[in-house]
Amino acid sequence: MALDIIYEDEWLVAINKPVSMLVHPGREKEPDDQIAMKALRNHLGHYVYILHRLDRPTSGVLLFAKNQKAQSKLSIIFQERQIKKRYFALVRGVTPDKFKVDLPINRAHDEIPRPSLTDFKTLETTRIEELNESFSLLDCKPETGRIHQIRKHLESEGHAIMGDYLYGDIEENNAFAEQTGIKRMMLMSRLLAFKHPYTDEDIRIELSCPEEFTKVFK
């Protein structure tokens, strides 16, 4: 699988992670080209360091550090929430123009839920008569970084992400895939913006809305 490098400098490199690619090795053995960290390492010819994660079915902007010092500096930026993250999500139903979900999330059932906050803005809505259902395209701004945060927050509001077989409805997802031909989870990391820890520049790594999302509204 070819890598789409969308930003690179002396210290950092970002790719447009495709759907189905893991960020790092999991429990099951996978080919190197299916693991972002290994594929990028092999492409650059040297080790890269993980700064954040995207779920396997989530596509979009994924940032790595090229050395441990850069990783340490960027990790602080992530931990202190000095980095802006934005996502596109296509969900079931008509959503409010703007809404906020403040719902604590736990990683495991035996953990105490941790504060989690996401802001949402509706960009566009449409209706597919063959499915007798409306859909909304959202701009998602997570203020915290809990596991599956956007997916859980949208499911809690009754607006599960299309193609999300973990939190969404299986039959609805199957019908959507059959009608539209889109067989992926409709969540994409579209933007990372932060102040560069070495150059002090304002860095904005951004992707446009992909055709898989926009075709629903044509």
Residue 55 annotated in active site: yes
| Catalytic choice (9, 33, 55, 202) | 55
Cα distances from 93 to residues 70, 89, 121, 126, 133, in angstroms, run: 42, 12, 14, 9, 7
- Which of 87, 69, 78 minimizes the C-alpha distance to 164? 87
Tell me if 1 sits within 8 A of 21, measured CB to CB.
yes
Do residues 132 and 172 lie in contact, with contact meaning Cβ atoms separated by under 8 Å? Answer: no
In the chain, the N- to C-terminal Cα span, in Å, equals 29
**Which residue from 198, 191, 170 is spatially nearest to 71, judged by alpha carbons?**
198
The catalytic residues are 55
